[in-house]
Amino acid sequence: MRKLVPPVLLTGLMAGALMDPGTIAALAKPVPSGSADDVGEAARAGQWQLGALRLPEAWRSSRGEGVVVAVLDTGVNPRHPDLEGAIIQGPDLTGAGRGPWGPHGTAMASLIAGRRHDGGRRGVIGVAPAAQVLSVRVTLENGDPRRAKNPSMNPSVRSDALAEGIRYAADHGAGVISMSLGGGSGAWEGSAAEEAAVRYAIGKGAVLVASSGNDGDSGNRKNFPAAYPGVIAVGAVDRRMTVAPFSNRQDYLSVVAPGTEIVTADGDDSYVVGDGTSSAAATVAGIAALVRSAHPGLSPHQVRMAIELGTRRRPPGGYSPAYGHGVANALLALREADRLARPASAPPRPGRYFGAGPAPASRMPVVAGLVLLMVAMSGWVVLRHRGRDST
């Protein structure tokens, strides 16, 4: 068994949009016994969202088999014990030229397709543990000094990295594209290249998911790629299923999902506990993978419908900028997908006296009745005529 080092559990706020350094903090918190095994056990025990999403029940129907989820992020560490065998390494599109993976991307991948380790006794398990993750590096970590030099807070060295990443993922078999980031090349206004890439990916059959942003209690800015049409924008809720204060509230929000005190894999083979819409978006990307695996024939729009219809704690009127359509739920989304995947009801049979009608035998009583009626009327006419002749 591969040991986890260092034996610490980190806690802090992970950026749901990778664009607001002012909201990010990381505090080292030692695990009581200080052993690597204890870290893995603590990580396993800390995944409160598994029950909230009803994942143990959902896994009876789907575990994400056969689905590739592209994680467009800071890169994913394929050597983390919880991700062994789950990662397909894609390109580094940042132009940074150093480092194939980062902690944030590794954390998001573990929420989607983490597989635990040591026979499932330790570590984190993702929403779709049988799915594959295609890692495409499109951004730098918040603490990267090259990022700090960029006055526009562009998350990558190359301004077109996200747009290229979306197209790459769509062209390389991604059924779901997860983007726990924001404020890309278009900053807060969006970008024509990114929007075109979103349309391209949807046209190729991919489901796109993005975090709504982490400045809901301050600027509450419009966040891209979440705001592009067709993208499932995800906000965050806490253990009480209450919207987190930092979660952005916008009229394009699709759903909310667990996003506070979330345990994830860390880039250095340890674990991190964090808050943010990043985690919520990765969680919903995992739900999309479950749906795609169970019903590969559903369109991106139908997958989105299944997720939005399969929510709990739906707001009054069915929608609000804070909750979207409600709190995402894996089991309910799969049930809605089952319903959407059923063949359309057979058209009603033609009416009795229109079109082809029923089988000929069913018309015999009617025809016989008409013949008897005609005979009776004929006899009545004859009798009446004779009566007139006799007068």
The catalytic site residues sit at 73, 104, 278
DSSP letter for 21, please.
G
> Is the distance from CB of 272 to CB of 103 less than 8 angstroms?
yes
The partner residues of 179 in beta bridges, in order of sequence, read 210
Task: Give the tokens for residue 280.
Answer: 């919520």
Quick one: the chain helix, strand, coil %, rounded to 5?
A: 35, 20, 45
Count of CB atoms situated within 10 Å of the CB of 38: 16
Helix or strand or coil: residue 389? helix
Q: What's the number of CA atoms in the CB half-sphere (13 Å) around residue 258?
A: 26
CA distance 353 to 234: 54
Q: Which helix (H) or strand (E) holds 87?
A: strand 87-92
Residues whose CB is less than 8 angstroms from the CB of residue 111 and which lie 6 or more positions away in sequence, other chains included: 124, 126, 127, 262, 264, 279, 282, 283, 286
DSSP letter for 270, please.
S
Going by DSSP bridges, is the β-strand pair 8-13/25-30 parallel, antiparallel, or unpaired? antiparallel
Place of tokens 């319903």: 339
Q: What's the number of CA atoms in the CB half-sphere (13 Å) around residue 169?
A: 40
